Amino acid sequence: MTTQKNQVLALSSAILLAAGCSPEPDMPPSSNINDYRGSASITQGIAKTVETNLFECKNGRSRVAGIGEITDTEGKVWTVPAKNNFVTAPKAVDLYEECANITPKSLADVNEDSVPVAVIDPDGEEVTGYIFADNYFELYINGTLVAVDTVPFTPFNSSIVKFKVKKPYIIAVKAIDWEENLGLGTEDNRGKAYHPGDGGFIASFSDGTVTNSDWQAQVFYTAPIYDLTCLSEIEGRRLSETCTTEGTDDGQNAYAAHWETPSNWMGKDFDSTSWPQATLYSEDEIGVDNKNAYMNFIEKFSGAGASFIWSTNVVLDNKVLLRYEVK
Ligand SMILES: [Ca+2]
Ligand SMILES: [Ca+2]
Ligand SMILES: [Ca+2]
């Protein structure tokens, strides 16, 4: 095995040398920013911090949730990890939120009657929703922003929302996998300064709606990318499944791919037919078994038949928009 591998390495080194290339492992990314031909706008390196921290945990530890801006090669400015309404929007009621000392052991310890009802249709049905996001969500019903997550990054929390609406209606969610290294898609974690964190979103609603593969999920920000040739696009799907972050410590020079967000993406009339179906992820893949914000209410998540959803890459895709029509 080792001998075969050495032969292959020797052969590829010989080919690289013959082609005039260096086989050194620290060679720069094999694709240049100017060679990229996909539909994304590409940035490289760290963003300028424009908001140092959106959230202070008064009761424990939280990761710094900043906002950054970075300019692409055409002069367009991108907000990372994403534009959001955290400061101004109505906050969801916490099911579980350590920083606010809200730590019920189960739903029986939650006063669901105290949750305010967002009225979309006065003669509609009242619906209760249970939401867990890694890391942040904004929930729209028929284009109206009903509530946003109270914790942008960590600690992990969960939320309860209520709204009154008539069927059919559209649920639209902006989901953000937050980042410490703004513009680079990474965080200091697991002994690595540039660890790519993962995302994930799960919800169930009292009218029987659950997150599953019938939802649509489109990505608008992918990072870190170390070799732009790993990005591809097939029939509206923005793919990064062959992208790897293994074997690189050069996180400060990572590329990021950005796509423009349609202004009415959350609206009832928005045409999302080109968006891919959501990809499903297991609880093990998201890593929730040590998270009380999820496990204490699991009856309303996987126990209700809901699945974790995201776009095709739950690690590198950091801003994902979700849509689902409740018929
Ligand atoms: Ca959160
Ligand atoms: Ca990520
Ligand atoms: Ca995350």
pLDDT in tens, 268-277: 999 999 999 9
Asked whether residue 23 is domain-assigned, the answer is no
pLDDT at 31: 63
Q: How do residues 20-46 score in pLDDT, each as one tens digit?
A: 444 444 444 456 888 898 999 999 999
pLDDT band at 158 (very low <50, low <70, confident <90, very high): very high
Rounded Cα gap, residues 28 and 185, in angstroms:
19
Asked whether residue 10 is domain-assigned, the answer is no
* Gap from CA of 222 to ligand 3 centroid (Å): 13
* Gap from CA of 189 to ligand 3 centroid (Å): 11
Specify the amino acid at residue 276: P
Asked whether residue 292 is domain-assigned, the answer is yes
pLDDT at 136: 99
Rounded Cα gap, residues 266 and 239, in angstroms:
22
* Gap from CA of 132 to ligand 1 centroid (Å): 7
Backbone angles phi, psi at 10, to 5 degrees: -60, -40
3-state secondary structure of 230: helix
Asked whether residue 229 is domain-assigned, the answer is yes
**Of 210, 202, 170, 131, residue with least CA distance to 327:** 170
Asked whether residue 170 is domain-assigned, the answer is yes
Instruction: Please enumerate in sequence order all residues whose Cβ is within 8 A of that of 101, keeping only pairs 6 or more positions apart, or say none.
Output: 59
**Of 287, 320, 316, 88, residue with least CA distance to 224:** 316
The distance of Cα 178 from the centroid of its chain, to the nearest Å, equals 7
Residue 206 has pLDDT above 70, yes or no: yes
The domain tally of the chain equals: 1
pLDDT at 21: 41
Instruction: Please enumerate in sequence order all residues whose Cβ is within 8 A of that of 308, keeping only pairs 6 or more positions apart, or say none.
Output: 200, 201, 202, 211, 280, 281, 282, 283, 285, 286
Asked whether residue 2 is domain-assigned, the answer is no
- Mean of pLDDT over the chain: 92
pLDDT band at 12 (very low <50, low <70, confident <90, very high): very low
Instruction: Please enumerate in sequence order all residues whose Cβ is within 8 A of that of 55, keeping only pairs 6 or more positions apart, or say none.
Output: 62, 65, 86, 99, 151, 152, 153
Q: How do residues 64-122 score in pLDDT, each as one tens digit?
A: 999 999 999 899 999 999 999 999 999 999 999 999 999 999 999 999 999 999 999 99
What range does the domain containing 50 cover?
Answer: 39-326
pLDDT band at 248 (very low <50, low <70, confident <90, very high): confident
Rounded Cα gap, residues 39 and 27, in angstroms:
26
* Gap from CA of 247 to ligand 2 centroid (Å): 17
Asked whether residue 117 is domain-assigned, the answer is yes
Q: How do residues 315-324 score in pLDDT, each as one tens digit?
A: 999 999 999 9
Residue 209 has which token pair?
């709606």
Question: What is the pairing mode between strands 279-281 and 308-310?
Answer: antiparallel
What does the CA dihedral 247, 252, 255, 261 come to, rounded to 10 degrees?
Answer: 130
* Closest ligand relative to 137 C-alpha: 1
3-state secondary structure of 150: coil
Least trusted range by pLDDT, from 5-14, 58-67, 181-190: 5-14
* Gap from CA of 177 to ligand 3 centroid (Å): 5
Asked whether residue 216 is domain-assigned, the answer is yes
* Closest ligand relative to 136 C-alpha: 1
Strand partners, 309: 201, 280
